[in-house]
A and B are shown apart, each in its own frame.
Chain A
């Protein structure tokens, strides 16, 4: 029985989420896992934007920031339940992506990258400077989601680490499922077409501007949810979540693992999330190693790690 790529991917992810905890030496690893999943969600959005549609964003962390701070601020200032704050954050991110995307997506290549970069930095600047609202660079507390206590009342008792591990894992699988549906769908095919040749795509009737915007908005929602989950699990967030480095990390994770494939991108997220953990002993070497990894993978394994590994495993067949 040959599995479709979609089923295989979802199976791998489900297995990953369900089985790895058995190998955890301690409860701490649930936190690491949850962080990988959170990054994986953001990175799946990048796959849709950059892998499918071929558009570069160097500022997507801005949307993560919107999602994160929505969870910090909406419960306090608007009385919203944190779960609804996640939805609010996603809605605001979608709206901002739609507004900002329309002019920005007319640009290509470096220009698009820098424009998105500018957007991301502006968001992070606002979060840093508006201290009265956001407490500035020192960061702000984020209210408790409360779902774990609900589950406890229903008889399912999980530690904090376990809860967030499985909760984020679920979101990751959901996000991957949506993205995989998109790939083979009419919208996904139109996005991949405009990636291959904008002119040819236009000629077959693709409204390129509209499709790019859709990809931008969808990926912004992914980033926003990712930021929200990060804020909720840490119960604390700083403006760095919207910063330039975070945007670069998102893109790098995706491209490192293989921006064309969901699994590849999540692999990249895993590697780059684990890197600082592995290097805690050599914390001073972190930037050095990160920079080196970025350069080496892009030079020698252009398509990313996963496609290169798969190619090696399959041999030089077609």
Chain B
């Protein structure tokens, strides 16, 4: 299968960034085709989250380009990337703690519900209609991720696994073309991981491309169509799961343990 960078939904080209002299990410390139699941794996500290942050506009890369649907979006602000169909979740959760679960999900509808400030201040029917539409959409999304009964609860009171699903719901509200998931199963127990696993598969089945950072090798090997392996900020391998899991450099980087698990 050729990975045509012209057809690619997301194209990362020679991306690099340094923090105070330390090259956190160096010359990383890969693509994500529409509707596929690409996983970025590598030992801790390999630069995966930094890579994510560069793609999603949180860090400005020192070198290289990011292209979304052919458009150069390198260093573009996150809210502009959101307008172009990119959304993401966070490794350490960025939930709106003092809002309810429903309100959290609703924020994902910002781009669809925003309107003139004056209308909002005056409480005009147009403003209330927009808000109500978001509420309805958000409820449907909460149902999709299994959180509909928690809608009125304060987000800060939910379990870790539930919050992970809430973030995914919020990200889906943007109707993204590509969804970046930063360790969605990290810190989750077996049951929660299973739920996230199913959710990701369902999202992918609906046609959304997914760029995934994950440590759970079983999940990665099972759902990815393409894997990119980072170590010390550089790409050391990429390809189909079967190929990558047998790559000596990859095995060496992980010191053997996790690549062996993936065969089981």
Contacts and interface: CB of A to CB of B under 8 A. Distances in A.
Nearest to A185: B120
B88 A193 contact: no
A190 B107 contact: yes
Interface in A164-216: 177-178, 181-182, 184-190, 192-193, 196-197, 199-208, 214
Contacts of B171: 203-204
Contact of A186 (B56, B97, B115): B115
Contacts of A187: 114-115, 117, 120-121
A261 B166 CA distance: 26
Contact of B78 (A189, A192, A193, A202): A202
Given A184-B131, A200-B95, A205 B174 contact: yes
Contacts of B127: 181, 185-186
Contacts of A201: 107
Given A178-B122, A186-B127, A192-B99, A205 B117 contact: no
Nearest to B170: A204
B79 A205 contact: yes
A218 interface: yes
Contact of B94 (A178, A192, A200): A200
Which size class do A's interface residues fall under?
20 to 34
B197 interface: no
B96 A200 contact: yes
B134 interface: yes
Contacts of B115: 186-187
B95 A205 contact: no
B256 interface: no
Interface string B87-129: 1101000111111000100111011011101011111000110
Q: Which of A190, A204, A218 has the most CB of B within 10 A?
A: A204
B79 A196 contact: no
B12 interface: no
A202 B90 CA distance: 13
Interface in B170-198: 170-171, 173-174
Given A193-B96, A205-B111, A182 B121 contact: yes
A204 B122 contact: no
Interface of A: 177-178, 181-182, 184-190, 192-193, 196-197, 199-208, 214, 218, 260, 318
19 contacts: A177-B123, A178-B121, A178-B122, A181-B121, A186-B114, A186-B115, A187-B114, A187-B120, A192-B99, A200-B95, A203-B56, A203-B79, A204-B82, A204-B108, A204-B110, A204-B111, A214-B117, A218-B121, A318-B153
Counting from the closest, the 4 A-B pairs by CB-CB distance are A196-B96, A181-B123, A185-B120, A205-B82
